[in-house]
Structures are given as C-alpha cells and as structure tokens.
Chains A and B, each alone.
Chain A
Amino acid sequence: MLSISRALHEKIVEHARKDHPDEACGVIAGPVGSDQPVRFIPMQNAERSPTFYRFDSLEQLRVWREMDDNDEEAVVIYHSHTATQAYPSRTDISYASEPQAHYVLVSTRDEAQTEFRSYRIIDGEVTEEPVTVTE
C-alpha cells in the first residue's frame, strides 16, 4: 500500500500536468526503511519525450548521494504517461531497479481527469497496490 499526503499527491499531479505532453518524472525520498514519502524531488526528463523518460545521469548522481547523506531512500519513483494508461509498460518494468520503491504512474491522457496509480515492481513482477491519501 502507498500512503501519501494530499500535498505530495498534488505535487505529482501538477508536475505531470505542467510537463504534458512530455512525460514528467521524479522521486519522493523518505527515511530509509520508513516507507514514508516525505521529500518531493522533481527530476528533469533528459529525454524530453512524450513517450519516454530518463533521469539525467548527473542529476541522478547528485540526488542519490544526497539521499545517502540524509539516510534517505527513494520511497516513490513517479512518472507520467501522456497518451496511454497509468500502468507500467514493458520498458517501465524492465528498467525498474529500486525494489523498495513504490512506482507511481500518472496518466494525463484525459484533460479533465488525471489517473494516479501505484505499483511494486520486483524482479520483473508488477503488483498494483492501493493508494491512501492522507490529510
């Protein structure tokens, strides 16, 4: 289950809407082992593409080092799909390499409503999980 504050939920949705039609991506860091998303870190999509995303490699190094210094880990890794459903694609699954992370997928294909779903992706297996938005 993903438990996430309304404020963080909205930040993800806003980021996805702002970058549409390019895919938006980012991380929410939290204390190691806490499973609590705390610190919102929007990332550049180095691909700047409507169908692909990739963290800029040097930005990723900076953020990963920062998390390590802060005893944090990536609790949420999010990205948006701009014309397809909010479900992990084949490439999403093959590149998922943070087993502790909640992979949040947002779809901005419909202007009126944003789909927001969360998954665990471990050893190539996708399991959808419920999302609880806390106040």
Chain B
Amino acid sequence: MAIEVRIPTILRTYTGGAKSVEGSGATLDELLLNLDTAHGGLRDRLVDGEKLRRFVNVYLNDEDVRFLGGLETPVKDGDTVTVLPAVAGGAF
C-alpha cells in the first residue's frame, strides 16, 4: 500500500531532503505514525497531542483534511497527502 506524502521545504530535514515520501495506513493518523518510524520527529511537527497543529495545512488530494475527518480521515492506496505550513501572521 503506498500513499505519497509531499513534504514542504522546512520539513525536509526529517526526510533526508526528500520532497516526497511514501507511507501506509488506513487513516491520516495511522499514516503519520507510519511515516514517523522512518522519519522520526516528523509527526510531532504536524500533530500536537491528539490533534493536527493549527498552523499546518494537510490536504488529502485536493481537499483540506480539516473539512474531512482531521486525523481520522480515511486514506487509501494511490492517495496523495500534501503538507504546507500555513502562511500567517499579524500585528502582534
């Protein structure tokens, strides 16, 4: 089972520089746990306790997983998960 996960520049230190890695799992949560075995520390950049971090966007194919099931979003072979740090900021 292979799910492609596209990694943004700042997280490529966890993947040896790779822009894209593969993993498996039936949900996004399982997929991230699976990736973390090969790329230790990566999951912690995306997950805070039991939830996805607020300022990281995770997409399943063309959709934002916030509107699907968050960490419980089902994933399957052939899917592409994309991670993009949110671009945000403000006066304070």
Q: Which A residues contact B (CB, under 8 angstroms)?
A: 23, 25, 27, 43, 47, 49-55, 57-58, 60-61, 64, 77, 79, 81-84, 88-92, 95-100
Q: Are A82 and B62 in contact (CB under 8 A)?
A: no
Q: How far is the CB of B36 from chain A (nearest CB, A)?
A: 20
Interface magnitude class on chain B: 20 to 34
**Which of B9, B62, B63, B88 has the most chain A CB atoms closer than 10 A to its own CB?**
B88
Given contacts A57-B57, A57-B64, A60-B57, is CB(A95)–CB(B85) below 8 Å?
yes
Decide if the interface of chain A is mainly helix, strand, loop or mixed: mixed
Q: Which B residues contact A (CB, under 8 angstroms)?
A: 8-10, 55, 57, 59, 62-64, 66, 82, 84-92
Q: Are A57 and B66 in contact (CB under 8 A)?
A: yes
In whole angstroms, what is the CA distance A83 to B91 when docked?
A: 8
In whole angstroms, what is the CA distance A27 to B87 when docked?
A: 10
